[in-house]
Amino acid sequence: MCGICGFIGNRPVSPECLNKMNDSMFHRGPDDSGSAMFIPEAGTYCGMAHRRLAVMDLSEKGRQPAFSPDKKVALVFNGEIYNFRQLRRELAPYPFQSDCDTEVVMAAWLAWGPECVRRFNGMFALAVYDSRSKELILARDRIGKKPLYYWYDKKDGNTTFVFASELKPVMMYPGFPKEIRRDIAGSFLLRGYINAPDTVFKDVYKLEPGGILRFRAGILEKTKYWDIAAVYHRQRKHEVQNYQKAKEELKARIVAAVKKRMLADVPLGCLLSGGYDSSLVCAIAQEHCKGAPLRTYSIGFEEADYNEAEYAKAVAGYLGARHTQLYCGREDMRTLLDDLPAYFDEPLADPSVIPSMLVARLASRDVTAVLSGDGGDEFFCGYHHYQAVRLAKFLDGMGGILHGIGKIRDLEARYPHRVRMISMNRNPCAKVQLTGGLYKDVISQMVCLDKPDHIYDFDEKRYSENNWQIRRMLLDMDTYLPGMVLAKTDRATMKYSLECRCPLLDVRVMEYAMRLKHEFRWKKGSGKRILKDITHDFIPRTLLDRPKRGFSIPLESWMRTVASDALISYAQTDYLKKQGLFHPRHTNRIVERFLKNDGLHSEKTDAQICWNFFIYQQWYDYYMR
């Protein structure tokens, strides 16, 4: 696990500048660093740099940039390729000098070109520069586990292309304008993240999951080698009809995925919430620890309604794991809140970021890599909102009638919030997102946009799926999973130089999950049917069956105590007028209403919008003022 950055263009940049860009990501790779500047030819300047967190082959042979034997091709690579030893055997004629996957990536690139990424089973973001063709190529793993940003600027006869694992190196590049995307603010208030390819800055983009980008002679060309919609429709042609067969095959694939991710030359542990996904991963990992207790880590909360630490401890005890837990309170939030912008250099408002950072800090004291259960909800229908979209489809006809009635004397504005979410859900291209009603109204009043409606909905047409639950799962795999969940996990763990591996996001697991009949995932009002049954082969049902809580925090109470002063300051009229992104009167009204907790409005709605607003303003204050 590492951090990468670099540039190519027709303007010279000093080695010192490149190294400063690289060192801004020290936390991503404290073990080593490397950089290379290429001799300019025909007015083309290129530099590449790398921060290393050593996990495989801890020797200096793993240093990057890595070069081809003839020194014509250079590579910087962030991530892990779990099938690298298998690929190494296929590439046996190559003169390997190390036992790390970076050298295998280089050998594969030289043998198969950019198509080699289709053979990789792992998480990665990489950049390859071929000095012969003056071509720079970027690639990102299928589901977007590892981040990769780029800035493309072409003006005044100069062409600049900069890439990095984080935004900080891009911001440090000479002449970067730091011009924010004003039209992003509203969608961020709604979702709490910025979906690829967009970013918070103008002309800066995220390479999309499963994407390949070529830059040559000032021209960009993007393609996708793995796309959620295309893979789903290909896999569903081979739907598995037999439940027992599906369970056995899926179990075998998950076991294989966990075993692959336990390969490391450093201590390894597991993040354990006590829910099904992480418990299954921990159970399999413990079985393959060769008799030693697996190290597991969890976070608890002082507020009983949010605390699942006792369940995680019980699972760890049953498995025989060596468990460590930490309780998270308001002071922990107060301490970590100020750190957020430094490590989340693009705003990200997942409320679980605080406990995620705490559990990462806890684990990093003992281990360098951890396994997690990320991906189980999206691929096996685990979220609460999958029940909501199922109900929304059932009520959609009634919603159309209520919408028609609501036009009479503006009656719809007086419907209860949940009714409005159904009645206003009239966009045929966005039926499963349920972002109607109060959320849209409040945010549209807050943001300074003439026509803000376009900021809210993703287009669902490309999934061509009539089952609303499946359509929402596909949408979450495309957007929420990489844009929020995996981005949060990457930043929270990398803050503490901790590598996080996700067995349920193994390509063989993901693609097989798409072949399952939907009733294998959802049955009798409950999701994760097949994943739960597999987990019960390892852990008794009595330790796991309970209402799903998720990795959430007591957001409302913490916002009204720990973050209230900062929230008020970010909503000051003079501040907002100068910033020009939010309407002062409407923004102050929402903030004051939430802090007063008058009980007349949706507390959850106000709390989420105010939290997203707080995170955006905190980021803006850190980077833009």
Residues known to be catalytic:
2
How far apart are alpha carbons 225 and 313 in whole angstroms?
41
Using the 8-state DSSP alphabet, how is residue 187 labeled? Answer: H
Q: From the centroid of its chain, how far is CA 104?
A: 26
Kindly state the tokens that stand for 239.
Answer: 């739907």
What one-letter code names the amino acid at 246?
Answer: A
Sole residue written with tokens 């983009």? 205
Do 205 and 199 form a contact (C-beta atoms < 8 A)?
Answer: yes
Do 125 and 165 form a contact (C-beta atoms < 8 A)?
Answer: yes
How far apart are alpha carbons 207 and 152 in whole angstroms?
12
Q: From the centroid of its chain, how far is CA 116?
A: 24
Q: How many residues does the chain have?
A: 625
Edge-to-edge strand order for the sheet containing 211-216?
66-67, 73-81, 122-130, 135-140, 211-216, 219-224
How far apart are alpha carbons 583 and 506 in whole angstroms?
45
Q: Is 212 in a helix, a strand, or coil?
A: strand
Sole residue written with tokens 């890439």? 163
Dihedral of alpha carbons 516, 520, 521, 523, sign: positive
How far apart are alpha carbons 574 and 509 in whole angstroms?
52
Kindly state the tokens that stand for 526.
Answer: 């409950």
How far apart are alpha carbons 10 and 539 in whole angstroms?
59
How far apart are alpha carbons 343 and 345 in whole angstroms?
6
Do 27 and 4 form a contact (C-beta atoms < 8 A)?
Answer: no
Do 101 and 263 form a contact (C-beta atoms < 8 A)?
Answer: no
Neighbours of 165 (CB within 10 A): 26
Neighbours of 117 (CB within 10 A): 25
How far apart are alpha carbons 352 and 551 in whole angstroms?
6
Q: From the centroid of its chain, how far is CA 471?
A: 19
Dihedral of alpha carbons 523, 524, 527, 533, sign: negative
Neighbours of 294 (CB within 10 A): 24
> How does strand 219-224 pair with strand 268-271?
unpaired
